[in-house]
Structure 1
Amino acid sequence: MDDFIAARSQMALSLGFHIVFSCIGMVMPFFMAVAHYYWLTTKEIRYKNVTKAWSQGVAIFFATGAVSGTVLSFELGLLWPQFMKQAGPIFGMPFSLEGTAFFIEAIALGFFLYGWDRFNPWFHWVTGVIVGVSGLVSGILVVAANAWMNSPAGFDYVDGQYLNIDPIKAMFNDAWFSQALHMSLAAFVATGFAVAGVHAFMILKNKNKQFHTTAFKIAASFGCVAALLQPLSGDISAKDVARRQPAKLAAMEAHFHTEKGASLLIGGIPDSKTKQVNYALKIPGLLSFMVHGDTKAEVKGLDQIPVENQPPVAITHYAFQIMVGLGMLMMALSGLYFIALWKKKQWLSSSWLLTLFAAATPLGFLAVEAGWTVTEVGRQPWIIQGVMRTADAVTPMPGIAYSFYLYTGVYLSLALVVSFMLYRQIRMVGTLYDLPAHASQLKK
């Protein structure tokens, strides 16, 4: 493995690991706040139990996310020094503000975790809400920085120099809204389905059904609403990509040839040598309609992109298909859930629906990982779209491959530790909150 591929692989590993904890940190506090609100308004002990259990999970993920996020910030400077030298003064503002949001989140989480029976109940609830809001803002700010890489703005690039820098314009670039909306909804989908799936599994195991049913309904409601809204944000993002990054769209769709009335491909195996896609289901005119609102409009293909500027087609296409396919599956499950909620309430306790949710536990995060693959691989060979190539930004320091192997071992170890802690936490929840003695103590 050469140093360039090792640097990209290490960054991909770090991002892929961190994004899971980022999504949970952005969303889980809102679940916690809803359960806490129900406790304050109804005084039903099950809501307090759920709130306390979830807050412990939030603390675990917050600590892990803080560590993995700190590593990422160092990696940007260590692996991509030329990128940070040129880009740091331009898009540094969202990272600075993200640090402030993270600081507020840490303080609010401390207040919430240690504020039981010490603060005014509603002030205590507000601290939990602040944890969620600051976490969401933190995620949006990081996405804004990534959006700048896809849609650079806030500077003039003249003779290799970055002039007339405007950090505000850089932060609110053309891509920030569509990416922030899409990523925020994805975080709610992924976390909602993951949490609902875990609680559905515990219900199937007949573990403290009242507790897990309460938690399941809150998480599933968030996840299913977001899953039904996600295609709208996906449409906004796709139209934005078609306008700013036609090479990425062409790779996503394996669209080799510029044509009018372009077909939408479902599945298929792209062959970059023959410029064909084999075994795909084609829907005539649909790609043109989705991009331009006209079934006969022309869609730019890879044949109009210089070969040296084309992204890897197969990886981008497969990742895009996985993201969309998993999203459609979760949409279908969301439809079933709301039918159950409004018309077929007996379905809510049926083993088949709970089994579907348990099976869907990892789908949201798999879709998130696939989506980030599309975003990053689809931008190649650029680290700053149209301005700086990834190969020109990498560190000249040798031996990056060994760093990649080391980080792989560290992240695998951390994943095992976190998984063990969560497993133990779930087992404790299944017994602790099922004991009347503990329930009576929690009422105090």
Structure 2
Amino acid sequence: MSGAVSDLLAARALFGTSLVFHIVFAAVGVAMPLFMVLAEWRWRRTGDPVHLDVARRWAKGVAILFAVGAVSGTVISFELGLLWPRFMAFAGPIIGMPFSLEGFAFFAEAIFLGIYLYGWDRTGPRLHLAAGAMVALSGAVSAFFVTLANAWMNVPAGFSVDAAGAATGVAPAVAMFPPGWAHEVVHVLLSSYAATGFAVAGIHAFLLLRHGDHAFHRAALRIALGVGALAALLQPLSGDFSARQIARTQPVKLAALEGQFETERGAPLRVGGLPDAAAEQTRFALEIPRGLSLLAFHDPGAEVKGLKAFPRDVWPNTRLVHLAFQVMVGLGSLLALVALAWVVQRVRGREPGPRLLRAIVLASPMGFLALEAGWLVTEWGRQPFTIWGTMRTADAVTPVTNLAAPLVAFTLLYVFLGVMVIVLVRRQIAHVPVDAAAAPHVPPEAAP
């Protein structure tokens, strides 16, 4: 039994490591093309060569990150079939449609990215800008279809299960849009724009602190943080909708998120704290009276079911889920505060000073840390099920043993790829000539 458990943990760890690595490139693939297009659009409107330089350098960065993301995404596709064959056998006929459509979106993104990269002096300005817009749209559509599949795993719909455990009465269109799909899609897209926007802005804010007022980094900061700040400010609203959806469809997950063991009306909202499943209580938390009932049901007196209302064998790991949720909310709140400070400065017509630039640098990794924590909340919170209420993770895993070896091998591979990406992207961004701001003002029609 212990061997089966260790192989299950190794399979989960291998797949989780692959997703932790890939999700960064997936988020960048959604957001960076939009930044790239906005930079070119600014150049074509103003003729400012700085924005042309930003667009060209970001386009090269997009190509690098897209290539690595394609590799890690392909690995995940193979792992779905190799590590979770029973899941794919059951779920394939039900949610095969969004997976297939995601493949079409990926190929469209690759085609238009090729046109964009090699079409600067081979296509007209409108066609070139449209190709970039299609790259940005295809990246978002790809994330849309993948998120639909994940939403179905959290709230399965569009099928019935017969006495033998097989899926019957499959309705692919219903399965493709399960309850709560819109909330999850919006939350994922906003998190991608916020995480990438702050990460890119942090790089340029750091270089502004080092090199003084540099036109290239100033222009790049405005575009990246313009998108990232808007997404960060909208994210709490999206999170509120998602939390209310979880309260209706996955009440045991909500209880784990908040460390709520007892069923009670006017349940408190916990900030911090450490759930103890053995003692069935959450210690050291700051409790806001009636806060959870108010946020989850918009009623301060609403009843919230606690973990003790559900069989213990369907409890997720309460401590891990709660802590990951606290990290996600805490970092997201800090991002929103920095975003608000930047917006206030822009409304006043001021550029961010050294103090705000330092805050942006400190906030730069927070978006991706919050994104990873949010993904862990979603996946850990669904355990012990792969398909909520339908298929347990232990029943979906491959019977193949000795999975620790590929776990170590792929982890080392991801570390190597991560280092190479950092080196290549650094060459595109960090070594901008200091006199770039003094470049001649070239009209778009005259530039290559």
TM-score tier (shorter):
over 0.9
Distance in 1 between residues matched to 2:364 and 2:216, nearest whole Å: 18
Structure 1 segments unaligned to the other structure (5+ residues):
none
**1:249 aligned residue:** 254
How far did 1:430 drift?
4.7
Is 1:404 matched with 2:411? no
- Which stretch shows the higher mean deviation, 208-217 or 300-309? 208-217
**What's 1:371 paired with?**
374
Partners of 1:430 and 1:376 lie apart in 2 by 44
Q: Name 1:308's counterpart in structure 2.
A: 313
Structure 2 equivalent of residue 212 of structure 1: 217
Counterpart in the other structure of 1:413: 416
Instruction: Report what 1:33 is aligned to.
Output: 37
CA distance, structure 1, for counterparts of residue 67 and residue 393 of structure 2: 31
| Partner deviation per Cα, 1:247-278 (whole Å, 9 max, x = no partner) | 11111001011000000000011111111111
Question: Is residue 2:277 matched to residue 1:272?
Answer: yes
Q: Give the CA deviation at 1:429.
A: 3.0
387-396 or 349-358, which moves further after superposition? Answer: 349-358
CA contact (8 A) 1:432 1:438 kept: no
Query: Structure 1 residue aligned with 2:396, among 393, 417, 428?
Result: 393
Cα shift readout 1:99-122 (whole Å, capped 9, x = no counterpart): 000111000000000001211111
TM-score normalised according to structure 2 size? 0.96
Cα distance in 2 for residues equivalent to 1:429 and 1:83? 49
Aligned counterparts of 2:409 and 2:436: Cα–Cα separation in 1: 40
CA–CA separation in structure 2 for the residues paired with 1:384 and 1:430 = 52
Q: In 2, distance between residues paired with 1:146 and 1:88?
A: 13
Query: Using a 3 Å threshold, how does the CA distance of structure 1 residues 430 and 143 change in structure 2: closer, same or farther?
Result: farther
Equivalent AA in structure 1 for residue 404 of structure 2: A
Alpha-carbon offset, residue 136 of structure 1: 0.2
User: Aligned to 1:198, what secondary structure does the other structure show?
Assistant: helix
How far apart, CA to CA, are the structure 2 residues paired with 1:369 and 1:56? 25
1:355 aligns with 2:376: no
SS in 2 for 1:127: helix
Asked if 1:429 corresponds to 2:448, the answer is no
- Post-superposition shift, 1:402? 0.8
Q: Extract unaligned runs of 5+ from structure 2.
A: none
Partner of 2:208: 203
Q: C-alpha distance in 2, partners of 1:137/1:291?
A: 29
Read off the aligned partner of 1:416 and give its amino acid letter: V
1:130/1:143 Cα in 2 relative to 1: closer, same or farther (>3 Å)?
same
Q: Which residue of 2 aligns with 1:62?
A: 66
Q: 3-state DSSP class of the match of 1:136?
A: helix
Alignment counterpart, residue 23 of structure 2, candidates 3, 13, 19: 19
Matched AA of 1:385: W
* Whole-Å separation in 2 of the counterparts to 1:5 and 1:432: 54
Residue 228 of structure 2 corresponds to residue 223 of structure 1 = yes
Contact 2:162 2:168 in 1 (8 A): yes
Q: Does 1:88 align with 2:92?
A: yes
Amino acid at match of 2:375: W
RMSD of aligned alpha carbons: 1.7
Q: Give the counterpart letter for 2:10 in structure 1.
A: A
Deviation at 1:207, TM superposition (A): 6.3
Match of 1:317 in 2: 322
* Secondary structure of the corresponding residue to residue 82 of structure 1: helix
1:147-186 Cα offsets, whole Å, 9 max, x none, are: 1100111111121120011111111111321110100000
How far apart, in 1, do the equivalents of 2:180 and 2:99 lie? 17
In 1, Cα distance between equivalents of 2:180 and 2:299: 23
Give 1:393's aligned amino acid. A
Counterpart selection for 1:382 from 382, 385, 393: 385
Matches within 5 A, 1:15-164: 15-159=19-163, 160-164=165-169
Paired residues of 1:208 and 1:434 also in contact (CA < 8 A): no
TM-score, normalised relative to structure 1? 0.97
Quote the residue 1:329 is aligned against. Answer: 334
Q: Confirm whether residue 262 of structure 1 aligns to residue 289 of structure 2.
A: no
Query: Which string of whole-angstrom CA distances, capped at 9 and with x for unpartnered residues, describes residues 315-344 of structure 1?
Result: 00000000000011011111111110112x
Q: Secondary structure at the match of 2:267?
A: coil
Q: What amino acid maps onto 1:152 in structure 2?
A: P
Aligned residue type for 2:102: E
CA positional deviation for 1:438? 12
**Residue 380 of structure 1 aligns to which amino acid in structure 2?**
Q
In structure 2, what is the Cα distance between the partners aligned to 1:15 and 1:66?
A: 13
Q: Separation in 2 of the partners of 1:349 and 1:272? A: 46
In the alignment, the residues of structure 2 paired with residue 151 and residue 432 of structure 1 have an alpha-carbon distance, to the nearest angstrom, of 55
Q: Deviations over 1:256-312 (max 9, x none)?
A: 110000000000111111111111110000100111111111001101110001000
C-alpha separation between the residues in 2 aligned to 1:87 and 1:430?
Answer: 53
Instruction: Give the AA of the match of 1:209.
Output: H
Q: Is the 8 A contact 1:101 1:137 kept in 2?
A: yes
Counterpart amino acid of residue 202 in structure 2: G
Whether contact under 8 Å (1:53, 1:429) holds in the other structure is no
Residue 286 of structure 2 aligns to a residue whose secondary structure is strand
Map of 1:176 onto structure 2: 181
Alpha carbons 1:208, 1:433 under 8 Å: kept: no
Question: Is the Cα–Cα contact under 8 Å of residues 208 and 430 in structure 1 kept in the other structure?
Answer: no
1:287 has 2:297 as partner: no
1:399 shift after superposition: 1.1
- Aligned partners of 1:397, 1:432: CA distance in 2, in Å? 59
Q: Relative to 1, partners in 2 of residues 1:426 and 1:207: Cα closer, same or farther, differing over 3 Å?
A: farther
Deviating more after overlay: 422-431 vs 165-174: 422-431
